Amino acid sequence: MTDHRPDHRPDTDGLEDHDLGLSHDLPRILGRRRILGLAGGVGVAAALVACGTDDGVDLTAAGQRPEPPAGVGGGPGGPGGGSGGAASDVEVAEGEIPEETAGPYPGDGSNGANVLTESGVVRSDLTTSFGSASGTAEGVPVTIRLRVQDLSGENVAPLAGAAVYLWHCDRDGEYSMYSESIAEENYLRGVQETDAAGRVEFTSIFPACYDGRWPHMHFEVYSSLASATTYSNKMRTSQLALPEDVCREVYATEGYEQSVTNLERVTLDSDNVFSDGHSLQLARATGSVEEGYVVSLNVPV
């Protein structure tokens, strides 16, 4: 990818280099791209997956997922089918998180409304609407932690000062700004700027499983907050898959009854976005229904 990003700062995250393991050391010794070229990238990629990161999230699973052709999304991104949004010409290198469809309900200007231009969209708490809207999304609490990493250089580096736009459906499988019953709401959408370690954090509710799709969240990465105003400035669009065991725990609670039925009709391997591989997109989740969950994913771009 063309390197049009801000300067990068080391991601020590309070740890010494020798505490970060092989996933930290190998790219700094040989360079990320060079590693992936050795022996087809498979052996070293497997080692990186085994080591993971300091917070237990896989750094990458390069070489284990076929990359989709440039400009091709993963299929429908929401109820009713159809990929929606604009076609992508983003090039994805090996080891980077895949480019996926934004689906028909992105709210980024590619398919109707553009929430990115509204005052108040830069926020961490996505559970309530902002501006003239006042609704609150009900559901099991979830914290989403993403760490954006730059793979364009010789070293894996945190992408500080970038912006992440995250959105997902509500407990009923509907999307604010699009679904008729909540078209006037804009909750479950928001933007955050990555810190020096490339991290962003959102608080939200656990999304539904609607018919035909594995439980997921959408996100776009931008080079800066200033550029996060329209889809045409995005660096990457992708989707986060939620772990099955946690989905089953959540969907056993009140309000998620339809998700139980829908989850039985789909698997990660049959989902039209994740069926070609999900090793880079399957989030790690910890917590409980009573205390809420924390969902974590690394986003190498």
Dihedrals φ, ψ of 32, to 5°? -60, -50
Structure tokens at 208: 């539904």
Q: Which H or E run contains 208?
A: none
Contact 161, 188 (CB under 8 A): no
- Whole-number pLDDT of residue 57: 38
DSSP-derived 3-state class of residue 194:
coil
Please give the average pLDDT of every successive group of 10 residues along the chain, which has 301 residues.
34 32 32 35 32 36 29 33 50 89 97 96 98 96 98 91 98 98 98 98 98 97 98 97 98 98 97 96 98 98 96
288 has which bridge partners?
292
- Whole-number pLDDT of residue 15: 30
* pTM for the predicted model, two decimal places: 0.75
Structure tokens at 157: 């580096």
Dihedral-angle region of residue 30 (phi above 0 means left; psi in -120 to 50 means alpha; beta otherwise): alpha
Contacts of 2 (CB under 8 A, 6+ apart): none
- Whole-number pLDDT of residue 153: 83
Q: Which of 105, 102, 25 is nearest to 59 (CA)?
A: 25
